[in-house]
């Protein structure tokens, strides 16, 4: 049955030559709503029962969908829900961060099957490529041969112009200049024959939230992801909007203070500030990134940082909503769940004290994915390119 809290996608069509679109639409419906019987799929896609039946049989034969247990209602025959087959396809996602890289193997439902991590003081292309190559071998060795052949591709989530942040990262400018000179996407293609998809890391996090998190609830929203440097994304009409350069929603440069030499949001709502504060207090900032995340060892510093970040995120939320009338602003980041809860609560409280005249005050909500959002969003790119609709605008008929 279609979920009431999930926004609808556009309808299917019955003309010849559009079977691939209809397959993608059906798979997108199932991915978005969960397991659904054919009767519900026919109703919300507008496809004829005959067209739908043919497509479902084909997808089931290919191992992309699977039958669930029959659900008996009050009258009539029991309905059989159709769901995505987890082993129907796999994907690899690589998140390249300023302090660590994560490599994940996900299945068709977006579940993480395996995950590897490497840490460093600052990233170097050769080191990251070696990590990727070794990780791919590990993933392939862990999968049976027939499943390894179902890996759809590799998604890369990488910060834009990583060489520009050498001073803040604490890296020699000459070292990070290697990123300016390398075509990393092409280098990845040298170590694998899998399709490669590159996107901004914060956009990838937004995509993960949109597909696997609370994106089902809203058609238009702004998304903030607090990493070492804050970034974000924009969703318009059910689709992640990347912009012509793939950098839409790069909220870091937003002004966060007035006067000469005004500060930017990246200067007031990023994890590198917490790193700096811990260092100034004589504490090791590595504890911010150590798994599992435990930030209980510096409560006073953390409280100050949370209050500061929450206020600036509330101000940034008003700023972006003055440009686009977003339904909501979602906040997530590479921090423990309790920290996310406190930041969102603080942003809501700060919003209540601000001058909101002329702006429709947005809902400020928590994201649901957490620190894995960038890697998971990267892994979703090959899956969506091959199986789902990436532009989800419009509505299906009631």
Q: What is the separation of C-alpha 300 from the centre of its chain, rounded to a whole number of angstroms?
A: 31
- 95-150 confidence digits (pLDDT tens): 999 889 999 999 999 999 999 999 888 999 999 999 999 999 999 999 999 999 99
Look at residue 258 in the predicted model and tell me its pLDDT: 56
Q: Tell me the helices (H) and strands (E) count for the chain, helix number first.
A: 14, 13
Q: Above 80 in pLDDT, residue 10?
A: no
Least confident residue range of 69-73, 245-249, 369-373: 69-73
Q: Above 60 in pLDDT, residue 392?
A: no
Look at residue 165 in the predicted model and tell me its pLDDT: 80
Q: Model pTM?
A: 0.88
Instruction: Summarize the confidence of residues 364-369 as an average pLDDT.
Output: 98
Q: DSSP states of 24-68 as a string?
A: HHHHHHHHHH-SEEHHHHHHHH---HHHHHHHHHHHHHTTSEEE-
Task: Name the residue among 156, 188, 185 with its Cα closest to residue 380.
Answer: 156
Question: Looking at per-residue confidence, does 160 or 35 come out higher?
Answer: 35
Render the burial of 116-136: b for 16+ CB within 10 Å, e for the rest.
Answer: bbbeeebbebeebbebbeebb
Q: What DSSP designation does 388 have?
A: S
Instruction: Summarize the confidence of residues 256-267 as an average pLDDT.
Output: 76
With cut-offs at 50, 70 and 90, classify the pLDDT of residue 398.
very low
Residue listed under structure tokens 């601000």: 354
Look at residue 391 in the predicted model and tell me its pLDDT: 54
Separation of alpha carbons 154 and 358, rounded Å:
44
Q: Above 50 in pLDDT, residue 367?
A: yes
Domains and CATH numbers, the chain: 19-84 (1.10.10.10), 89-203+376-386 (3.30.420.40), 214-368 (3.30.420.40)
With cut-offs at 50, 70 and 90, classify the pLDDT of residue 397.
very low
- 231-254 confidence digits (pLDDT tens): 999 999 989 999 888 888 999 999
- 339-357 confidence digits (pLDDT tens): 999 999 999 999 999 999 9
- 299-324 confidence digits (pLDDT tens): 999 999 999 999 999 999 999 999 99
Instruction: Summarize the confidence of residues 162-181 as an average pLDDT.
Output: 87
3-state class (DSSP) for residue 367:
coil
């Amino acid at each position: 049955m279609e979920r009431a809290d999930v926004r609808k996608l556009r309808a299917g069509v019955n003309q010849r030559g559009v079977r691939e679109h209809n397959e993608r639409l059906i798979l997108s419906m199932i991915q978005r709503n969960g397991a659904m019987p054919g009767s519900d799929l026919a109703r919300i896609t507008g496809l004829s029962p005959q067209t739908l039946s043919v497509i479902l049989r084909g997808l089931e034969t290919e191992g992309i969908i699977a039958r669930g247990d029959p659900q008996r209602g009050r009258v009539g025959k029991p309905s059989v829900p159709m769901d995505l087959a987890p082993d129907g396809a796999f994907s690899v996602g690589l998140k390249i961060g300023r302090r660590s890289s994560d490599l994940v193997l996900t299945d068709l439902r977006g579940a993480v099957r395996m995950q590897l991590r490497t840490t460093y003081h600052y990233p170097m292309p050769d080191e990251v490529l070696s990590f990727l190559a070794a990780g791919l071998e590990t993933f392939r060795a862990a999968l049976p041969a027939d499943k390894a052949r179902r890996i759809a591709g590799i998604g890369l989530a990488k910060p834009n112009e990583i060489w520009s942040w050498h001073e803040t990262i604490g890296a020699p400018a000459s070292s990070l200049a290697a990123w300016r000179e390398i075509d990393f996407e092409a280098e990845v293609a040298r170590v694998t024959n899998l399709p490669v998809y590159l996107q901004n890391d914060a956009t990838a996090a937004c995509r993960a939230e949109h597909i696997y998190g609370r994106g089902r609830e809203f058609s238009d929203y702004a998304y903030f992801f607090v990493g070492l440097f804050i970034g974000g994304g924009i969703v318009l009409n059910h689709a992640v909007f990347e912009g012509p350069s793939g950098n839409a929603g790069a909220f870091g440069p937003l002004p966060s203070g007035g006067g000469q030499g005004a500060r930017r949001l990246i200067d007031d709502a990023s994890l590198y500030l917490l790193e700096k504060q811990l260092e100034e207090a004589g504490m090791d900032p590595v504890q911010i990134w150590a798994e599992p995340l435990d930030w209980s060892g510096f409560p006073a510093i953390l409280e100050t940082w949370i209050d500061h970040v929450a206020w600036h995120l509330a101000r940034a939320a008003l700023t972006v909503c003055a440009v686009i009338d977003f339904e909501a602003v979602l906040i997530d980041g590479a921090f423990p769940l309790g920290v996310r809860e406190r930041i969102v609560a603080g942003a809501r409280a700060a919003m209540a004290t601000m001058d909101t005249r002329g702006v429709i005050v947005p809902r400020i909500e928590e994201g649901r994915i957490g620190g894995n959002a960038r890697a998971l969003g990267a892994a979703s790119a090959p899956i969506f390119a091959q199986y789902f609709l990436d532009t989800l605008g419009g509505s299906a008929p009631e």
